A and B are shown apart, each in its own frame.
Chain A
Amino acid sequence: MNKVETISMSARAPENGSAPLLSARGLRLAFGLTEALRGIDLDCHAGEIIAVTGPSGSGKSTLLHVLAGVLVPDEGTVDYDTVRLTDLDEAGRSRLRLDKFGFVFQYGQLLPDLNAVDNVTIPLLLAGVKRREARRRADAWLDRLGLGECSRKLPGQLSGGQAQRVAIARALATKPTLLFTDEPTGSLDSLAAETVMLALTEAARDANTAVILTTHDPRTAAYADREVVVRDGQITIGGAYG
Chain B
Amino acid sequence: MRLFTLTRLVTAEGRRASGRLIGMAGGIAVGVALLLLLLGGYDGVTSRSERLSWPSLSHGESTELRDPAAAAPTDESVLAATNLEHFDGQEIIRVDIVATPDSTVVVPGVGRPPAAGTYHASPALIALIEANPTDTLGSRYGTRAGVIDTAGLAGPDSLVVVTGTTTENLRGPSVGMVGSVFLSGNVWSVTEFRGVSYPNSNYRALTIIGAIAILLPVLILVGIVTRLGAATRAERFAALRLIGATPRRVAAIAATEAGVTSLVGALTGVALAWLLIPVAALVEMEDGRFFRADLTVPPSTVLIVVAGVVAGCTAVAGWRTSRARIGPLGGSRERTERRPSALGVVPLIAGVVVLLGATTAALRHGPLPRTDQVLIAGFLLLLVGLIAAGPVLTYWISRVAARRAHRTAGVIAMNRIQQHPRATFRAVSGLVAAVFLVSFFSAGITTLAEEPPTEDSEYLSSSTLVAWFSPPPPDDANAVASNITAVAAAAARIARTDGVTATAIGSSHPETGAVFTAADAARVGLSNHDSASHIQVTGSAFGDGSLVTRPATAPGTTPRTLLVATDGTTHSVERARTAILGSELRLQSPTMTQADHESARSRTWADRYANLGHLAVLVATLISAVSLAVSSIAAILDRKRVLGLLRLMGMPVSTVRRVIVAEAALPLATVFALCVGLGILTAWFIVAGLTEGRRTINWLPPSYYLILATSLVLAATAVLATFRTARTSTTIEATRIG
Contacts and interface: CB of A to CB of B under 8 A. Distances in A.
B642 A122 contact: no
B666 to A, nearest CB: 13
Contact of A71 (B333, B649, B732): B732
B489 interface: no
Contacts of A198: none
Contacts of B406: 125, 130-131
A103 B639 CA distance: 18
A97 interface: yes
Contacts of B646: 111, 122
Interface stretch (A6-14, A47-55, A112-120, A216-224): A112-120
Interface string A202-226: 0000000000000000000000000
Which secondary structure characterizes the binding site on chain B?
A: helix
Contacts, number: 93
A30 interface: no
Interface stretch (B354-362, B407-415, B440-448, B624-632): B407-415
B651 interface: yes
B645 interface: yes
Nearest to B416: A113
Nearest to B643: A111
A108 B650 contact: no
A91 B647 CA distance: 11
A161 interface: no
B735 A108 contact: yes
Interface string A105-149: 101111111110010011101100011000000000000000000
Contact of A118 (B333, B415, B736): B415
A107 B650 contact: no
B420 interface: yes
B703 interface: no
A126 B408 contact: yes
Interface in B644-660: 645-652, 655
A61 interface: yes
A156 B334 contact: yes
Contact of B408 (A96, A103, A125, A154): A125
Interface string B327-351: 0000001111000000000000000
A109 B408 CA distance: 16
A114 B648 contact: no
Q: Say which size band chain A's interface belongs to.
A: 35 or more
B557 interface: no
Given A71-B732, A122-B412, A156-B333, A108 B641 contact: yes
B418 A109 contact: no
B650 A99 contact: yes
Contacts of B738: 107-108
B707 interface: no
Given A71-B732, A126-B650, A130-B406, A109 B412 contact: no
Nearest to B419: A113
Nearest to B334: A112
B420 A113 contact: yes
Residue among A65, A68, A103, A108 with the highest chain B CB neighbour number at 10 A: A108
A84 interface: no
B405 interface: yes
A125 B413 CA distance: 14
B645 A154 contact: no
A113 B738 CA distance: 18
Contacts of A195: none
Interface in B700-738: 732, 735-736, 738
A177 to B, nearest CB: 14
Give the contact-size bracket for chain B: 20 to 34
Interface in A49-105: 61, 65, 68, 70-71, 91, 94-99, 101-103, 105
A20 interface: no
A233 interface: no
B411 A155 contact: no
A199 to B, nearest CB: 19
A99 B411 CA distance: 20
Contacts of B335: 156
B645 A108 contact: yes
Contacts of A98: 649-651
Contact of B411 (A94, A105, A112, A114): A114
Contacts of B735: 105, 108
Given A94-B650, A113-B418, A121 B645 contact: no
Contacts of B420: 113
A118 B419 CA distance: 13
Contacts of A109: 642, 645
Contacts of A107: 641, 738
Contacts of B405: 131
Contacts of A96: 650
A70 B732 contact: yes
- Residue in A95, A111, A155 whose Cβ sees the most chain B Cβ within 10 Å: A111
Contacts of A112: 333-334, 419, 639, 642
Contacts of A102: 649
B649 A114 contact: no
A103 B420 CA distance: 27
B412 A111 contact: yes
A155 B333 contact: yes
The residue among A113, A123, A154 with the most chain B CB atoms within 10 A of its own CB is A113
Contact of B652 (A94, A110, A125, A130): A94
B415 A70 contact: no
B333 A126 contact: no
B648 A118 contact: no
B651 A126 contact: yes
Contacts of A125: 406-408, 411
B650 A95 contact: yes
B79 to A, nearest CB: 77
18 contacts: A68-B648, A70-B648, A70-B732, A95-B650, A97-B648, A105-B645, A111-B646, A112-B334, A112-B419, A113-B412, A113-B415, A113-B416, A122-B651, A125-B406, A125-B407, A130-B406, A131-B405, A154-B419
Interface of A: 61, 65, 68, 70-71, 91, 94-99, 101-103, 105, 107-115, 118, 121-123, 125-126, 130-131, 154-156
